[in-house]
Structure 1
Amino acid sequence: MPLHTGEPIGSGDRVFLADARFAFDPAWMGAILKKPTVLTWEGRPILAHVTGDFADVIRRAMAAGEPWSVPVDVEILAADGDATVYNHELRKRERPFVEPLLPETVRSIERKSYFGAYKGVTDLLTKYAWPELALVLTRWAAKLGLTPNMVTAVGAVLCVGATIAFFEGHLWLGMLMGWIMMVLDTVDGKLARCTITSSAIGNIFDHGIDLIHPPFWYWGWLAGLAAYGTPVGAELYGLLLWVIFATYILGRVIEGIFEWRYKMHIHVWRKIDSQFRLITARRNPNVLILLIALVFGRPDVGIILVALWSILSLAFHTVRLVQAFLAPKPIVSWMSES
Structure 2
Amino acid sequence: MPLLVTGHCDRLIFGLSPAERLRRQVAGMPGLRLVADASAVISEGTLQWLEQNPGIALVSTSGKRLAVAAVDGTPTRDLLDSAAKTVTADTFHYFNRKLRRREALFGVSLDEVDGDALHRTLFNSVYKGVTDLVTKFVWPAPAYWVTRLLAAARVTPNIVTAVGFLCMLLAAVLFARGQIALALVPAWVMTFLDTVDGKLARVTIRSSPIGNTLDHGMDIIHPPIWWLCLAYGVVLREGNTTMVQPAVVAMLGSYVAGRVVETVFKSQLGFNQFIWEPMDAWFRLIVARRNIILLIITVGLISGLLLESFLLAAAWSVSSALIQLVRLAQAWSRRPVRSFLSGDDDLTLAVSRAPKSPSQS
Range class of TM-score, shorter chain: 0.7 to 0.9
What secondary structure is seen at the aligned counterpart in 2 of 1:30?
Answer: helix
Aligned with residue 96 of structure 2, among 87, 93, 98: 87
How does 1:164-243 map onto structure 2 within 5 Å? 164-228=173-237, 230-232=238-240, 234-243=241-250
Tell me what 1:310 maps to.
317
What secondary structure is seen at the aligned counterpart in 2 of 1:102?
Answer: coil
Any conservation in 1 of the 2:123–2:144 contact (CA below 8 Å)? yes
- Give the Cα–Cα distance (whole angstroms) in 2 for the partners of residues 146 and 53 of structure 1: 35
Any conservation in 2 of the 1:18–1:48 contact (CA below 8 Å)? yes
Q: Which amino acid aligns with 1:78?
A: T
Give aligned-pair identity as a percent.
Answer: 33
Q: Which amino acid aligns with 1:61?
A: D
Cα 1:243–1:25 change in 2 (3 A) is same
What secondary structure is seen at the aligned counterpart in 2 of 1:85?
Answer: strand
- Give the Cα–Cα distance (whole angstroms) in 2 for the partners of residues 35 and 226 of structure 1: 62
Tell me what 2:121 maps to.
112
1:121 aligns with 2:121: no
Q: Which amino acid aligns with 2:339?
A: S
Q: Which amino acid aligns with 1:243?
A: A
- Give the Cα–Cα distance (whole angstroms) in 1 for the partners of residues 334 and 70 of structure 2: 39
RMSD after superposition: 2.7
List gaps (5 residues or longer) in structure 1.
7-12, 63-67, 71-75
Structure 1 residue 22: Cα displacement: 2.0
How does 1:64-103 map onto structure 2 within 5 Å? 69-70=84-85, 77-79=87-89, 81-95=90-104, 97-102=106-111
| Larger RCO (CA under 8 A, 6+ residues apart) | 2
- Give the Cα–Cα distance (whole angstroms) in 2 for the partners of residues 214 and 60 of structure 1: 50
Cα 1:302–1:60 change in 2 (3 A) is closer
Cα displacement string for residues 261-296 of structure 1 (whole angstroms, at most 9, x for unaligned residues) = 123211112222112111111111111111111110
How does 1:9-48 map onto structure 2 within 5 Å? 15-36=33-54, 38-42=57-61, 43=63, 45-48=65-68
Cα 1:29–1:251 change in 2 (3 A) is same
Structure 1 residue 60: Cα displacement: 4.7
Any conservation in 1 of the 2:126–2:202 contact (CA below 8 Å)? yes
Cα displacement string for residues 82-107 of structure 1 (whole angstroms, at most 9, x for unaligned residues) = 52221111110022543221286322
- Give the Cα–Cα distance (whole angstroms) in 1 for the partners of residues 245 and 302 of structure 2: 25
List gaps (5 residues or longer) in structure 2.
7-30, 345-361
Cα 1:327–1:50 change in 2 (3 A) is farther
Tell me what 2:10 maps to.
none
Tell me what 1:336 maps to.
342
Cα displacement string for residues 222-268 of structure 1 (whole angstroms, at most 9, x for unaligned residues) = 2112333x332x33222112101110111111111111112321111
Structure 1 residue 46: Cα displacement: 2.5
Any conservation in 1 of the 2:100–2:275 contact (CA below 8 Å)? yes
- Give the Cα–Cα distance (whole angstroms) in 2 for the partners of residues 259 and 240 of structure 1: 29
- Give the Cα–Cα distance (whole angstroms) in 2 for the partners of residues 93 and 186 of structure 1: 20
Cα displacement string for residues 185-238 of structure 1 (whole angstroms, at most 9, x for unaligned residues) = 11111111111110011000011111001122122222112333x332x33222
TM-score, structure 2 as length reference: 0.80
More off after superposition, 247-256 vs 95-104:
95-104
TM-score, structure 1 as length reference: 0.85
What secondary structure is seen at the aligned counterpart in 2 of 1:33?
Answer: helix
Aligned pairs, number: 317
Any conservation in 2 of the 1:77–1:83 contact (CA below 8 Å)? no
Structure 1 residue 26: Cα displacement: 1.9
Tell me what 1:264 maps to.
271
Structure 1 residue 327: Cα displacement: 1.1
Q: Which amino acid aligns with 2:58?
A: L
Q: Which amino acid aligns with 1:18?
A: A
Structure 1 residue 149: Cα displacement: 0.9
- Give the Cα–Cα distance (whole angstroms) in 1 for the partners of residues 93 and 78 of structure 2: 22
Tell me what 1:65 maps to.
none
